[in-house]
Structure 1
Amino acid sequence: MTTPKPKSEIPADLRELLGSLRRRIRLYVLLEGLALLVVWLAVTFWVGLAVDYLPVTFGASEMPREARIVCLVAIYGVSAYIFYRWVLIRLVARMSDTSMAILIERRYPAFHESLLTAVESPVEEDLTEIAFREGMIRQAVTQAVENSRQVKLNEIFNPWPLTRNVTLAVALLISIGAFAVISFDSFQIWGRRLYWLSDEAWPRLAQIEVVGVEVTRPSGASDGTTAADVVEVIPFKNGVATVARGSSPKLLVRAKADAEVVPAYCTIVYETADGARGSVAMQRVGTARSDYQRYIFQRKPLKSILGSISFDLIGYDHRLRNLRIEAVDSPAILTMQVDAAPPQYTNLLPRVSELTSSSDLPVGSQYKLLAKTNKPIVRVEIANLREQTQSEMTLAEPNNQFELEFPPLTDDLSLELTLIDSDGIYSEAPFRVQIAAVADQAPNVNLQLAGIGTAITPQARIPLLGTVGDDYETKDAWLDVQPGDGDITPFAIKPTPQGDVNYVLDLKETTGAPQLVAGDQISLTLKASDLHDLTGGPNIGVSTRYPLDVVTPSKLLSLLEARELGLRRRFEQILQETQQLREEFVRVQLDAKRIATGPSSFSSSDLEGDDAADPVAKLQQAIELQLLRVQRTPQASRKAEDELRGVAAGFEEIRQEIINNRVDTEKRKERLENDVIGPINQIADVRQPELREAIKRLEASLDDPTHSVEAVGDAIAETDEIILAMQQVLDKMLDLETFNELVDQIREIIQLQEELQKDTETEQKRLFRDLFNLESSD
């Protein structure tokens, strides 16, 4: 085997040409890749700036940090790709002499592949098999060397991609440089925001800020005003302002007047708790004052707000984000109880009761108010309406319960309580507390005379009936007796456990009773004290004062006889009315007989009207008149019954006065009771009800003329019995009156005898004095 010959050497000129082309290719690749990388970085600079800043000019916010992180990752990722794809791979790629020769010959065809032949001269492996023509190779090399002198490497490259990239890169760099020169602060801000991920915000042309929300609430003790309501501005804390549910807050915003742009209006972009979204414009208020331009808004969705509202506020290019108006329930008292311990003298146990509009407590009670609220509160403002004072109570920590303690109750309590919760929300309306202070009243004392009149004898027995009652309990009761203008003498009385008083003051037998004579006057007053031990001591209740005149027995009897005469006349009037009732029954009886006969018994003169000639109409009219007459009779019977009881009671009073004044005989008292009072009560209690029963039967029988005649006969019979009984009583009254007249005559004779005796004694004394004087003169 033959040994192959080594590859022939490339001439230095050709090697230099190929090396120069290789270096220029690498420089071209480097410049093109770097320019493309600069273009990418510059474009992302401007695009990111536009995306980050342009929304700001419309009131939106800058890109959030998360978006900028994504952008920065994309920038660095694409930059790495560009550097790898357009720079690194192309720079490290192997560029052989053959490739370089092909590039040159493609641009310069005059080489006729001589350059490629010179670069790729073959190695002879078997000189015996393949003829090697060394002359031809030399000729090709010589031709390549000669042609290489005409090669211009710049013409091999396409300048447009490089020029384009470099031009774009330079232009973009110039624009960035100009931006940095013109607005270096903005340049720095964007650089920090994009590459350092700073949260520094872009400066705004307009500057707005939220002042707060204006609400109207009830005035409290800390407001120092007498007005019922006050206007309060609630600031936003951490972007949240809390208002009462149902209120209509007014949003207050202001813009700096010295900013580059003062917004013509501000926009609220909101979302309610129920998902409703929208935007509304705020009203501009007047012109800028105190370096600020003000804006207000109080329409929907802030009208009668029921739920929370989240919103952004936009003023030209300034946007305040994540603001919220939180609507919460106003604090309110759910229950209020009164824990009271009444004064000891009342003997009432301590109690806890619900506060109502009619709550009351005894004066002197120890008490406190126990309240439960719908939410935790931190302060209670107390307005005392009666004393016109203001105070407040601050709780140690927010709580749903609180207590208000007071000194002992001395007067009516009238308070208004205003609650404030931890959000500064006031109760919608003050809670009214009304507790009436019930002063201990004097005992209620009633007194009346029983069986005694306003005139008494010196030996009278005075029965007293009455009642004694107190709010809680009485202590003592007594009867004050005062003769004329003399000293008052108290007589202790012990009422029953129910408070009833039944006491007899016997002027003859009661120890300590005043000694009276005819012509004197005595007054009686019942009094009682209670257990009240506060200021002022026990309360004393006083009954009506009863003045009584002291008269002789004869004078008293004459007064009673005058009253008897009045009762007799009243009785006679009742008797007359009963007789008229009988006449009414007689007319009813006559008409009943005619009705039983039929229409033929009525003449035209009996009736009036258009139907006077009609017998049937006459009969019907008579029946109606009959019914009307019968229906009026029970009322007359009841009237007579009531008046008879009144007459009987009057005679009983006379009888009791005779007994209690110790006058007249037992005979007279028995005649009053047996001949007058008893029979009158018998008529009222028995006869009159029996008459009404007969009237009922009569009324029920009117539909049957035959039976009605019998029924009206029964009623007449009952009436006759009543008239007869009353006439007998009247006769007894007249007998009694005659008896009384005889007694009066005897009383007058006795009185004349007594007067004659007194005159005789007086005359005897005068004659005796005259005789004594005559003897002395002798």
Structure 2
Amino acid sequence: MEPAAVGSATGVRPLLQQVQRVRGRLRAFLAIELAAMAIVGLAAAWWSLLALDYAFELPRDLRLALLVAAGLSLCGWLYWSRGRALFRRLADDQIALWIARQRPQLADPMITAVQMRSSDGPMWETTRVWADRLAGDLRPESLVSSRRPRRWVSAAVVLAGSVVVFAIVQPAITSLFMHRLALADRPWPRRVQLVAEGFTRSEDGVLFLRTAKGAPLEISLRAEYGEENDRPSEVLLDWRGSAKSRGRAVMIEHPGIVPGQTHFVHRIEAAVEDFQLWARGSDARLGPLRVLAVSRPVLTSLDAEIVYPSYLQRPTESIVADAVQQVPAGSRVTLLGVCSKALTRVSIEPAIGTVAVDDQRLRVVLPTTDEPCRIAMTLIDQEGVASDPPFGFSLSPIPDTRPSITLETLDVAGVVTPRAVLALAIDAADDHGLTRVTLAADVNGGRKVQRPVSRANRKTSFRGAPRLELSRNRMTGRGDLGELKPGDRIRLSATAFDACDLDSLPHSTTSRVLELEVVSEQQLLARIAEREANLRRVFEQTYAAARRERLRISELASEPWGDDAEAASVSSGRVAEAWRRLADETQGAAASADAIVREVSANQVEDAALVRRIRDDVAGPLTRIGKELMPTLVAKITSRAAPAQCDSDAGVVLEEMKRVIDQMQTIDEYNALVLSLRGLIDGQRSLEKRTEKAGKSSARSLLLD
């Protein structure tokens, strides 16, 4: 390097050193000012957040948002206000320009000297003179003032000191606030504390309450305080819905019975959406409280599985529960349901049976159906919401009906001979099926003899006609009635059994007891003779009535039905009705005659002539008169046939009726004769027995003598 060049650099150096000193002082003051501003910003944010958090009890999410916002704002403010200048490159030319603005009189020499610090030439001498002069006149202390940094430092000291003093005076509050800045959920200590009743704290620390959508909701807060003077006069409740709906209400005060506590409530008519609540009263703050409106659990399907009693022999059925109202007594019913939501439990009132829950399915096993029951099921889902109203289910048992049974004798009417053969009629029925039917008999209240009539094989009805032969003195080999004699009384009954095994004893029903009196053949014939005589007297009255009705037909024969159709119809109708009634009476007489024939046959009376006469000469003709002749006559009268023809047919009927009456009189005479003969025979037999007995007694006396 040339001497001139070296001299130039050396001559300008004092001036550059002064510029460097100004640059260093500027950067130092900017750094001090930036630090002080940061302290001021942090302290101001600390106090602001403290005031907001204490006043509004900010939730954790909002505190986090405010911290982030405050940090970003502080960083942005520091950067744009001082950070850019502190960290920007400051060239000598820029410092020279800045000094020129501070000292206008030095502007030209300063800028020229700095810009020509590395120049060579004739003007070097002049530049050196200027540089020496400027280096001596520059004072960095006068150019860079410390007044503004001192203000920021003072503010920083005051604010930071206030924080330190507050921390010393209120260490508990400071510690609590620092924990809350660290996003802890510790509440502020207040003179009044608000407690939300029924709310649950979630994992993120927020109090929430689930309620059924559309259901009324009562918000209840409990204010706790130490002194009566601290009791809040009112509690304000603010809410904001998910649909941006907002509102405010004053909660109703309910003074508590516990000292230091007061309840405040607010009723919401219907919770139709999710919303948040904030409450404040006195110095207490509470919120946000989340209310979640969720749908209630409902039964989408409910079936009843019915296990019938074993005696019914019916397979298990599964049908819709709504269709089940009654089941046979002794059945076991299990309810199988599917719900719209997962369940935690099912409450049943009254508490009967057992309940099992598996996610959305439920199983309710009811006790054996012996008495009517009605239950109400309340479903509680995993969110704690219950179904409303409860689902009702009622069930009543159908008790097993005992069998019904009737026992009748077909051919006898209260009296029998020792040789009789009884034809019986048994009709039995049961709602679920019979297992067996038995017949029982005893003589004079003695030992009862039973025999099975039939195995019903679970049929719901049974009709049988067993025969009982008294002459054999046994019921088909299953029990001896002993030797029967006149005067004995036989008691007959039938019993039907069903398969019901719910009770300790089987279900059975016994028919009414039939009592039969044992008589001799002579006594039976006397009774039959009396019945036949009564039958003849009754039929004679029917015959007399028929003769009168024939006279009416004869009168009509002399006076035809006439041209008046209505009058003719009335006249013929009256006559036809009279003959129709006579036909019914005649058929009744024929039935009575048949009954006499059957009774004689059933009792094994050895009188074939009597049976033949009653059957062929009385019962048969009466049946022909009542079922053929008289109905034919009625048909002709109804059709208004020629009166003369009707009169002729009526005459035929009367002739047949008279012939039957004559036969009845003959039978009466025959019966009287037979009874007399039987009386003589019986008397002779009695005399012979007494003579034989007397002879045996005399012989015994002679032997003893």
Instruction: Please give the alpha-carbon distance, in whole angstroms, between the structure 2 residues aligned to 1:691 and 1:529.
Output: 52
Contact persistence 1:452–1:657 (CA under 8 A): yes
Contact persistence 1:212–1:236 (CA under 8 A): no
- Output one character per residue of 1:619-677: Cα deviation in whole Å (capped at 9) or x when no partner: xxxx5x66677778887676555554433322322232233334585455444444544
**Alignment identity in percent?**
14
SS of alignment partner, residue 72 of structure 1: helix
SS of alignment partner, residue 413 of structure 2: coil
Contact persistence 2:357–2:363 (CA under 8 A): no
Contact persistence 1:105–1:115 (CA under 8 A): no
- Output one character per residue of 1:168-198: Cα deviation in whole Å (capped at 9) or x when no partner: 663475356446535756667767777xx65
How big is the shift at 1:568? Answer: 1.4
For 2:72, the equivalent position in structure 1 comes to 73
How big is the shift at 1:465? Answer: 1.8
For 1:478, the equivalent position in structure 2 comes to 439
For 1:253, the equivalent position in structure 2 comes to 221
TM-score for both structures, normalised by structure 2: 0.71
How big is the shift at 1:448? Answer: 0.8
Instruction: Please give the alpha-carbon distance, in whole angstroms, between the structure 2 residues aligned to 1:680 and 1:737.
Output: 11
- The 5-angstrom pairing of residues 221-620 of structure 1 reads 239-242=207-210, 248=216, 250-258=218-226, 262=232, 264-267=234-237, 269=239, 271=241, 275=243, 277-279=245-247, 281=249, 282-287=251-256, 289-302=258-271, 309-316=274-281, 317-329=285-297, 334-340=302-308, 342-343=310-311, 348=313, 351-354=316-319, 356-361=324-329, 369=334, 371-374=336-339, 393=354, 395=356, 400-402=361-363, 404=365, 411-412=370-371, 414=373, 416=375, 418=377, 421=380, 423=382, 429=390, 432=393, 434=395, 436=397, 438=399, 441=402, 444-469=404-429, 471-475=432-436, 477-482=438-443, 484-490=444-450, 493-494=453-454, 499-509=462-472, 511=474, 512=480, 514-527=482-495, 541-551=509-519, 552-565=523-536, 567-568=538-539, 571-572=542-543, 575=546, 590=561, 592-594=562-564
For 1:209, the equivalent position in structure 2 comes to 195
For 1:712, the equivalent position in structure 2 comes to 640
Instruction: Please give the alpha-carbon distance, in whole angstroms, between the structure 2 residues aligned to 1:44 and 1:637.
Output: 130
Structure 2: stretches of 5+ with no match in the other structure:
475-479, 696-705
Q: 1:492 to 1:717 in 2, by over 3 A?
A: farther
Contact persistence 2:329–2:369 (CA under 8 A): no
How big is the shift at 1:312? Answer: 3.1
TM-score for both structures, normalised by structure 1: 0.65
Q: 1:653 to 1:554 in 2, by over 3 A?
A: closer
For 1:614, the equivalent position in structure 2 comes to none
Instruction: Please give the alpha-carbon distance, in whole angstroms, between the structure 1 residues aligned to 2:672 and 2:100.
Output: 187
How big is the shift at 1:261? Answer: 7.3
Q: 1:310 to 1:626 in 2, by over 3 A?
A: farther
Instruction: Please give the alpha-carbon distance, in whole angstroms, between the structure 1 residues aligned to 2:128 and 2:532.
Output: 189
Contact persistence 1:380–1:392 (CA under 8 A): no
- Output one character per residue of 1:365-404: Cα deviation in whole Å (capped at 9) or x when no partner: 8x57363443655656677x8xxxx667475965725474
SS of alignment partner, residue 80 of structure 1: helix
- Output one character per residue of 1:320-374: Cα deviation in whole Å (capped at 9) or x when no partner: 344435443157981121234615xx7x265345473221156xx8x57363443
For 1:653, the equivalent position in structure 2 comes to 595
Q: 1:369 to 1:270 in 2, by over 3 A?
A: same
Count of aligned pairs: 658
Contact persistence 2:276–2:289 (CA under 8 A): yes
SS of alignment partner, residue 268 of structure 2: coil
Contact persistence 2:419–2:604 (CA under 8 A): yes
SS of alignment partner, residue 563 of structure 2: helix
Instruction: Please give the alpha-carbon distance, in whole angstroms, between the structure 2 residues aligned to 1:38 and 1:77.
Output: 15
Letter of the structure 2 residue corresponding to residue 460 of structure 1? A
How big is the shift at 1:296? Answer: 2.9
Letter of the structure 2 residue corresponding to residue 553 of structure 1? L
- Output one character per residue of 1:229-284: Cα deviation in whole Å (capped at 9) or x when no partner: xxxxxx66654545567764544332332497747225252547xx5844464433
Instruction: Please give the alpha-carbon distance, in whole angstroms, between the structure 1 residues aligned to 2:334 and 2:84.
Output: 85
Q: Which stretch shifts more, 643-652 or 485-494?
A: 485-494
SS of alignment partner, residue 412 of structure 2: coil
Q: 1:645 to 1:75 in 2, by over 3 A?
A: farther
How big is the shift at 1:735? Answer: 1.0
Does 1:743 find its partner at 2:685?
Answer: no
Instruction: Please give the alpha-carbon distance, in whole angstroms, between the structure 1 residues aligned to 2:558 and 2:37.
Output: 138
SS of alignment partner, residue 329 of structure 1: coil
SS of alignment partner, residue 289 of structure 1: coil
How big is the shift at 1:414? Answer: 4.5
Q: 1:492 to 1:264 in 2, by over 3 A?
A: closer
Instruction: Please give the alpha-carbon distance, in whole angstroms, between the structure 1 residues aligned to 2:589 and 2:650.
Output: 16
Q: 1:523 to 1:117 in 2, by over 3 A?
A: closer
Instruction: Please give the alpha-carbon distance, in whole angstroms, between the structure 2 residues aligned to 1:276 and 1:102.
Output: 57
Letter of the structure 2 residue corresponding to residue 478 of structure 1? L
Aligned residues: CA RMSD? 5.7
Q: 1:163 to 1:96 in 2, by over 3 A?
A: closer
SS of alignment partner, residue 466 of structure 2: strand
For 1:106, the equivalent position in structure 2 comes to 105
Contact persistence 1:257–1:288 (CA under 8 A): no
Instruction: Please give the alpha-carbon distance, in whole angstroms, between the structure 1 residues aligned to 2:49 and 2:295.
Output: 36
For 1:598, the equivalent position in structure 2 comes to none
Letter of the structure 1 residue corresponding to residue 158 of structure 2? I
SS of alignment partner, residue 655 of structure 1: helix
Q: 1:712 to 1:478 in 2, by over 3 A?
A: closer
How big is the shift at 1:446? Answer: 1.9
Contact persistence 2:633–2:650 (CA under 8 A): no
Q: 1:655 to 1:267 in 2, by over 3 A?
A: same
Q: Which stretch shifts more, 69-78 or 626-635?
A: 626-635
Q: 1:28 to 1:636 in 2, by over 3 A?
A: farther
SS of alignment partner, residue 453 of structure 1: coil
For 2:661, the equivalent position in structure 1 comes to 734
SS of alignment partner, residue 197 of structure 2: strand
Instruction: Please give the alpha-carbon distance, in whole angstroms, between the structure 2 residues aligned to 1:179 and 1:588.
Output: 143
How big is the shift at 1:285? Answer: 1.8
SS of alignment partner, residue 198 of structure 2: strand
- Output one character per residue of 1:538-562: Cα deviation in whole Å (capped at 9) or x when no partner: 5654222122234413421233124
Instruction: Please give the alpha-carbon distance, in whole angstroms, between the structure 2 residues aligned to 1:530 and 1:115.
Output: 133
Instruction: Please give the alpha-carbon distance, in whole angstroms, between the structure 2 residues aligned to 1:542 and 1:41.
Output: 110
Letter of the structure 1 residue corresponding to residue 593 of structure 2? F
For 1:603, the equivalent position in structure 2 comes to none
SS of alignment partner, residue 254 of structure 1: strand
Instruction: Please give the alpha-carbon distance, in whole angstroms, between the structure 1 residues aligned to 2:353 and 2:267.
Output: 32
Structure 1: stretches of 5+ with no match in the other structure:
214-234, 596-622, 699-710, 769-778
How big is the shift at 1:480? Answer: 0.8
